[in-house]
Structure formats: C-alpha cells, structure tokens
Structure 1
Amino acid sequence: METRRRSLVKAVIWNLLGLASMTLVGVIATGSAAIGGTLALVNTAIGLTLYVLYERIWAGIHWGRNV
C-alpha cells in the first residue's frame, strides 16, 4: 500500500505538469496570461484535490491486487 505522503507527492508533480500545460492552453484560448493563469490555477486546485481523494480511495480497495 502507498503512503499518504507518496500519493500527495505524485499528485503535486502531476498537477504541476497539468498547471503548465493548462496555462499555455488558457493563454492561447483567451489571449490573456492573467485569465489563462487563473483558469489553470482553479483547474489545478480542483484536480489535485480530486486526484488525492481518488488515489486514497483506491489504496483502500483490495480488488485486483495480488497478495
């Protein structure tokens, strides 16, 4: 089973990658770095929260694991 710290570090790294790509998409779509950046930050905050919850739920499910 994964530790909570490992799950959190994985989620943060993944979301930093997502933040960078979403900022670029937001800037291209809106033409504004401020709006694009804000959209990316909101998306990252929501995504990080959901990802950590998702990982922790699956960490407690034993189905499909080889013991």
Structure 2
Amino acid sequence: MGNVINSQVRLEREEVSTSENIKRSLVKTISWRAVGTITTVVISYVITGTIALAFSIGGIELVSKMVLYFFHERAWEKIKWGK
C-alpha cells in the first residue's frame, strides 16, 4: 500500500514539474550548437576549400544561433499548448 501511495506522490510531482530550468536550457543550447557548428564548419570547408574561412563562418554561426535558440527555447517554455 505504501508503494502505491509513494508512486502516486511521485507521479503528481512529475506532472507539476513540466518546465525546464535555465541551466538545462543552456546545456541543451550548447550541446546542440556544438553539433550544428561542426556541421557548418565541415560544409563550409567542403564548399570554400579554406579552413580559416570555414572556422570564421562556423564562429559567427555558433554565437548567433546559440543566442537565437536560447530565446526560442525560453519562449516555447511559456506556451501551454501541447503540454
């Protein structure tokens, strides 16, 4: 009986805690941008043939898209639709 009650309490806590904290959003932002930037650098190098130019493009892309993704993620956190 105690296990059933504990399970129910745990489920209720999980249902209440549906939002992400800022640290989690930041870690997701950084990890996703790492994957995206590596891809951008490789594609830029294949197209331009210049490693310095590829890293320049990747650096600009890294910063701009990380900022945009963070704010996009936080905005979606406020939207109740689909939760």
With the length of structure 1 as denominator, give the TM-score of the two structures: 0.91
Say which of 49, 55, 62 aligns to 2:73.
Answer: 55
Identity %, equivalent residues: 29
- Unaligned runs of 5+ residues in structure 2 are 1-18
Structure index of larger Rg = 2
Alignment-mate amino acid for residue 15 of structure 1 = R
Residues 14-63 of structure 1 deviation map (CA, whole Å, 9 limit, x = unaligned): 00011111110111111100001100110111110100000000111112
- Unaligned runs of 5+ residues in structure 1 are none
Report the counterpart of residue 41 of structure 1 in structure 2.
59
Computed over aligned residues only, the root mean square deviation of the Cα atoms, in angstroms, reads 0.7
Q: In the TM superposition, what are the counterparts of 1:1-67 in structure 2 within 5 Å? A: 1-65=19-83
Query: Aligned residue pairs: how many?
Result: 65
With the length of structure 2 as denominator, give the TM-score of the two structures: 0.75
List 4+ stretches of structure 1 deviating above 6 A.
none
